[in-house]
Amino acid sequence: EQSGTQPQLSDYIRDAQTAISSLGTQIQEHLNLPNQEELANTFKEQSTNFANNVQAYLQNITDEVKAKSPELEDFWTNMKTKLSEAVDNLHINPETTEQVNQLRAKFQEGVQTLVTESENAAKTISENSGKVQESIAKITKQAIDIAVKASQNLNQQLQQATTPQP
């Protein structure tokens, strides 16, 4: 028996996947920026922002789970570990084109991990009670929003960088 949260959540995840994959394509197109230094700086800045947002999110949810939803402890510990690992790799200072490409790959990997882990979480929802389902759905949506926003921000910055300034 499907609850109300389930179909909406899977739609939400699917839309996020679509958005992220189209942004990924656009990001790819910006990689031949004439100004490699600007490209490197943009990637560094956006990756750091993304990593910081994920860290803040992990901290918030951890506190929330401890305070309000101890029954989510196992679920969250597992998800948190994976998300932490995904953004740990993002604190690098790219100086060569190769490093920029590595950072881009890690950034997209990080974004993808958020979505994948959210998808896995969504699959476990139906095994839980109503209240827990809602909590998981909320946690999942927040993770997805961070992933989509990070991709949008990076794409936007790159677009600005590729637009010649008057």
Is residue 57 in a domain? yes
pTM for the model stands at 0.86
pLDDT tens, per residue, the chain with 166 residues: 345 555 688 899 999 999 999 998 988 888 776 777 888 889 999 999 999 999 999 999 999 999 988 889 989 999 999 999 999 888 878 888 888 888 989 999 999 999 999 999 888 888 888 888 889 999 999 999 999 999 999 999 988 877 766 6
Contacts for 144 with CB less than 8 Å, ≥ 6 apart: 12, 13, 16, 114, 115, 118
Smallest CA-to-CA distance from 17 within 158, 105, 134, 25 is with 25
Is residue 46 in a domain? yes
What is the pLDDT, as a whole number, of residue 101?
A: 86
DSSP-assigned letters across all residues of 21-74? HHHHHHHHHGGG-S-HHHHHHHHHHHHHHHHHHHHHHHHHHHHHHHHH-GGGHH
The span from the CA of 127 to the CA of 107, in Å, is: 32
What is the pLDDT, as a whole number, of residue 1?
A: 39
What is the pLDDT, as a whole number, of residue 2?
A: 45
Residue 157, token pair as written in the block: 């910055």
What is the pLDDT, as a whole number, of residue 18?
A: 94
Is residue 132 in a domain? yes
Residue 90 · residue 47 · CB < 8 Å: yes
Is residue 42 in a domain? yes
What is the pLDDT, as a whole number, of residue 51?
A: 95
Is residue 113 in a domain? yes
Is residue 23 in a domain? no
- Residue 67's domain is classified under what CATH number? 1.20.120
- Give residue 106's domain range: 36-153
Which residue reads 């677009």 in tokens? Answer: 159
Is residue 63 in a domain? yes
Smallest CA-to-CA distance from 54 within 42, 66, 65, 46 is with 46
Residue 145, token pair as written in the block: 């929003």
Is residue 85 in a domain? yes
Residue 139, token pair as written in the block: 């946690």
What is the pLDDT, as a whole number, of residue 166?
A: 64
Residue 143, token pair as written in the block: 């993770």
Give Cα separations from 101 to 43, 90, 105, 131, 144 (angstroms). 9, 12, 6, 42, 23
Number of domains in the chain: 1
The span from the CA of 143 to the CA of 76, in Å, is: 12
